[in-house]
Amino acid sequence: MTRAQQTISIAMLLTSIYLAVFMQVVPMPQKIQEDIVPVLPFWALISFGAYLLFKLGWGVFTFNDVPEAHKELMQQIAEARKDLSAKGVDVGGD
């Protein structure tokens, strides 16, 4: 199963469970049914947004923690400059 199929399956399962609770197919206490269940989609959306913002912030915070990627990138730039110079293109920066 691909990741997309897995994500769609989980989303459909959660949607089905929510609709069963929202349509009162699954009995819940009246207080929960009236006060909590209607706002669950908004809570889930806000929580998901907060999670994505955290992941973005963490990625920015740990951006410089990849010295091996920097070395690989610099090597690729050097190879590209060498290849372009061999073809007669002035790349500067040497």
Question: Does 15 map to a domain?
Answer: yes
Residue 11 is part of which domain span? 1-35
Reduced 3-state DSSP string for the chain: CCHHHHHHHHHHHHHHHHHHHHCCCCCCCHHHHHHCHHHHHHHHHHHHHHHHHHHHHHHHHCCCCCHHHHHHHHHHHHHHHHHHHHCCCCCCCC
Claim to verify: residue 10 and residue 31 sit in the same structural domain = yes
Question: How many domains is the chain built from?
Answer: 2
Question: Does 93 map to a domain?
Answer: no
Per-residue pLDDT tens digits of the chain, which is 94 residues long: 899 999 999 999 999 999 999 999 999 999 999 999 999 999 999 999 999 999 999 988 887 767 888 899 999 999 999 999 898 888 776 5
Claim to verify: residue 49 and residue 31 sit in the same structural domain = no
Say whether pTM exceeds 0.95: no
Question: Does 55 map to a domain?
Answer: yes
Question: Does 19 map to a domain?
Answer: yes
Question: Does 40 map to a domain?
Answer: no
Claim to verify: residue 49 and residue 83 sit in the same structural domain = yes
